[in-house]
Amino acid sequence: MSDIMQPVMGEKGCLPGCMTGKGCLIYVVVVVIVGFLASKLPVAMPEIALPAEPVFTLPAVGFAVTNTLIATWLTMLLLIVGSILVTRNMGLVPGGLQNLVEWGLGVLLGLAESVAGERGRKFFPLVATIFIFLLVSNWMGILPGFASVGLIHEAPHGGHQAQQVSVLGLRVNILQAGEVGEHETGWTVFSFLRSAATDLNTPLALALISVLMTQVVGVQAQGLRYFSKFTPSFKDVLGLIVGPLETVGELAKIISFSFRLFGNVFAGEVLLAVLAFIVPYLVSVPFMGLELFVGLMQAFVFAMLTLVFMSMATMGHGSEGEEH
């Protein structure tokens, strides 16, 4: 046993952060107790709803405000208030929070300039905004309460059972963990908040902005000659195909941008809900870590791809050989 413990044993006994025999025993006991409690407090089977649920409807316009829209507003509020707090009393020698934010933006700017060269500075605002917005939005979606706390509504097919109780004289329906059949009217939860990218609208909007700005930047750099890459040229057989191929490629970029982000975040949400149903309270924890990582990577990939496509749009065909 001592040779196994050798790497974690310092001179004064066990180094902090390692697990001794006694610590292991305590951990096993805690797991057994939590597992026992988990069987007594069941988690309801998750309702996997693809479209975002409306929380309320604006009466005049008839526009349904969905829970993902409210989450987007919350993200915006967080970022705007954070920005105001950081840039208040901005000093030439930064201290504290301003220093931290400047370091973060410095890292992003360095990355943008390493990918796109001097033009990286010009693309930086849009790319960094996409990254920071998606990062905050994805990470906020893991907080407790997202996609779980809300009012219950009657569902036309399937759903959960509900029990009517009387609270302070009001008759209130409380959700139970039991299911009803597919053809009966059950109850389902319309949560107040849901991670913004789980609604296809948000990734689609960001993808459209990305691809549109890529075209705009291309036209800014190359003038109207930029559109010659989409038209077929009749010089040789290959030129006939390349034009339409590029057009289809641009459309495919929109679809792939939006579905990559949507799929990753939505599948992560479904995964967490289903795991919480299968083994409550325990198995979800490492997968929350996975969600953190996936949220970061998807934000990074979206921003980096936007940057790369913008950089490619400004280069054009002629200067591609000069890069290597």
Partner 1 sequence: MAAGDLVEFGKALGAGLAMGLGALGPGIGIGLLGAGAMQAIGRNPEATGQIQINMMLGIVFAEAVAIYALVAALIIKFV
Q: Are 225 and 88 in contact (CB under 8 A)?
A: no
Three-state secondary-structure class, residue 195: coil
Tell me how far, at minimum, the Cβ of 132 lies from partner 1, in Å: 18
Per CB under 8 A, 253 contacts partner 1: no
Give the nearer residue to partner 1 in terms of CB position, either 14 or 270: 270
Q: Which is closer to partner 1, CB of 79 or CB of 308?
A: 308
Does residue 14 interact with partner 1 by CB under 8 A? Answer: no
Which of positions 87-116 make contact with partner 1 (CB under 8 A)? none
Interaction between residue 48 and partner 1 (CB under 8 A): yes
Beta strands in the chain (DSSP E): 9-10, 13-14, 54-57, 64-66, 150-155, 160-167, 170-179, 186-191
Cα 21 to Cα 14: distance, rounded to the nearest angstrom: 11
Angstrom distance (rounded) from CA 70 to CA 55: 9
Q: Which of residues 68-87 bind partner 1 (CB under 8 A)?
A: none
C-alpha to C-alpha distance for 92 and 23, rounded to whole angstroms: 49
Binding of partner 1 by 312 (CB under 8 A): no
Among the listed residues 34, 12, 71, the one whose alpha carbon sits nearest the alpha carbon of residue 279: 34
DSSP per-residue codes, 92-103: SS--THHHHHHH
**292 lies in the binding site for partner 1 (CB under 8 A):** no
Rule CB under 8 A: is residue 195 a binding residue for partner 1?
Answer: no
Site string for partner 1, 207-246 (x = CB under 8 A): ----------------------------------------
Q: Which range of residues in 71-79, 122-130, 163-171, 261-269 is near partner 1 by CB under 8 A? A: 261-269
Residue type for 281, please? Y
Instruction: Give the Cα separation of 32 and 146 in Å (integer).
Output: 28
What letter would DSSP give residue 320? G
Q: Which of 82, 94, 243, 263 lies at the binding interface for partner 1 (CB under 8 A)?
A: 263
* Smallest separation (angstroms) from partner 1 to the CB of 161: 20
Stretch in the footprint of partner 1 (CB under 8 A) among 184-192, 227-235, 239-247, 264-272: 264-272
256 binds partner 1 (CB under 8 A): yes
Angle (nearest 5°) at CA 190 between 184 and 193: 160
CA–CA gap between residue 63 and residue 70 (Å, rounded)? 13
Q: For the chain, give me the number of helices (H) and strands (E)?
A: 8, 8
Q: Provide, rounded to whole angstroms, the least separation between the CB of residue 131 and partner 1.
A: 14
Binding of residue 266 to partner 1 (CB under 8 A): yes
Interface segment toward partner 1; rule CB under 8 A; list 13-21, 43-51, 135-143, 206-214: 43-51
* Segment contacting partner 1 by CB under 8 A, of 97-105, 165-173, 275-283, 297-305: 297-305
CB 122 within 8 A of CB 128: no
Summarize as ranges the residues that interact with partner 1 (CB under 8 A): 48-50, 182, 256, 259-260, 262-264, 266-267, 270, 297-298, 301, 304
